[in-house]
């Protein structure tokens, strides 16, 4: 209900978006029924500490009405902290989930990491980075996995989708969480991060940085 309310107001609001690098969030809301540190359960005691509150997702695009909560917060599943958020999918059609509207200026090299956990085996999902080139022209980068942990980096047939010439992309798996890591040469601005998935998917961590900040 809250997401539906803010989505209706969204076109009329001045939105403050994250723009400083490095950027990192575990999506924790500053509380939990238990505590997890680096994928490992560290405490079974409930806790509450708002100083641990992380950045939360932007107002979602996928809400059509109050009957389909396309994202929700999960208490007790996390990479770090007390919880994470879940992309619910609709089990019939692939849903495009906007995670963040942002303004991250990349001057040399993009470092991008996102940690996800599929709730069904052989889940396919695609990650989108929407960007502006130095001339203000929009384009997208797409990558992810397609069944049985087969990674792919989409072929692009026009300027709306770009594969960087120089890139390093790999996947690692830990405690059921899948870490996507992308490093590529880039000059431009990241303006949106999104995921397309049909099945439920947990998002536990997001990290973005530019090579000039290392």
Q: Report residue 149's pLDDT band, with 50, 70 and 90 as the boundaries.
A: low
Name every residue whose Cβ is closer than 8 Å to that of residue 9 and which is 6 or more positions away in sequence.
none
Q: Which of 37, 20, 19, 17 is nearest to 28 (CA)?
A: 37
For residue 70, what pLDDT is reported? 76
| Residue in this structure with the two tokens 């940690």, named with its chain if needed | 115
For residue 76, what pLDDT is reported? 84
Average pLDDT over residues 8-28: 88
Instruction: Name 81's bridge partners.
Output: 36
Q: Is the pLDDT of residue 114 over 80?
A: yes
For residue 78, what pLDDT is reported? 93
For residue 151, what pLDDT is reported? 64
pLDDT digits (tens, 9 = 90+) for 62-92: 655 555 567 888 888 999 999 998 987 665 5
Please state, in angstroms and rounded to a whole number, the distance separating the CA atoms of residues 145 and 151. 4
pLDDT digits (tens, 9 = 90+) for 130-142: 999 999 999 888 8
Q: Which of 86, 82, 63 is nearest to 73 (CA)?
A: 86
CA distances from 78 to 36, 83, 189 (A): 6, 5, 29
Please state, in angstroms and rounded to a whole number, the distance separating the CA atoms of residues 186 and 39. 31
Chain centroid to Cα 176, Å, comes to 17
Please state, in angstroms and rounded to a whole number, the distance separating the CA atoms of residues 78 and 135. 39
């Amino acid at each position: 209900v809250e997401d539906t309310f803010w989505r209706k107001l969204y076109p009329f609001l001045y939105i403050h978006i994250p723009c400083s690098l490095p950027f990192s969030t575990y999506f924790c809301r500053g509380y939990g029924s238990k505590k997890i540190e680096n994928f490992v359960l560290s405490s079974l005691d409930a806790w509450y500490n708002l100083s641990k509150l992380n950045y939360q997702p932007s107002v979602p695009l996928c809400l059509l009405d109050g009957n389909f909560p396309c994202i929700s917060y999960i208490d007790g599943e996390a990479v770090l902290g007390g919880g994470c958020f879940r992309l619910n999918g609709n089990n019939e059609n692939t849903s495009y989930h906007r995670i963040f509207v942002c303004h991250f200026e990349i001057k040399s090299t993009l470092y991008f990491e996102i940690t996800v956990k599929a709730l069904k085996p052989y889940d396919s999902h695609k990650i989108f980075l929407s960007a502006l080139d130095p001339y203000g022209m929009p384009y997208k980068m797409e990558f992810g996995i397609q069944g049985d942990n087969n990674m792919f980096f989409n072929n692009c047939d026009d300027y709306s989708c770009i594969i960087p010439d120089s890139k390093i992309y790999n996947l690692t798996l830990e405690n059921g969480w899948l870490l996507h890591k992308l490093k590529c040469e880039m000059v431009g601005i990241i303006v949106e991060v999104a995921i397309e998935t049909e099945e439920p998917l947990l998002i536990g961590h997001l990290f973005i940085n530019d090579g000039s900040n290392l």
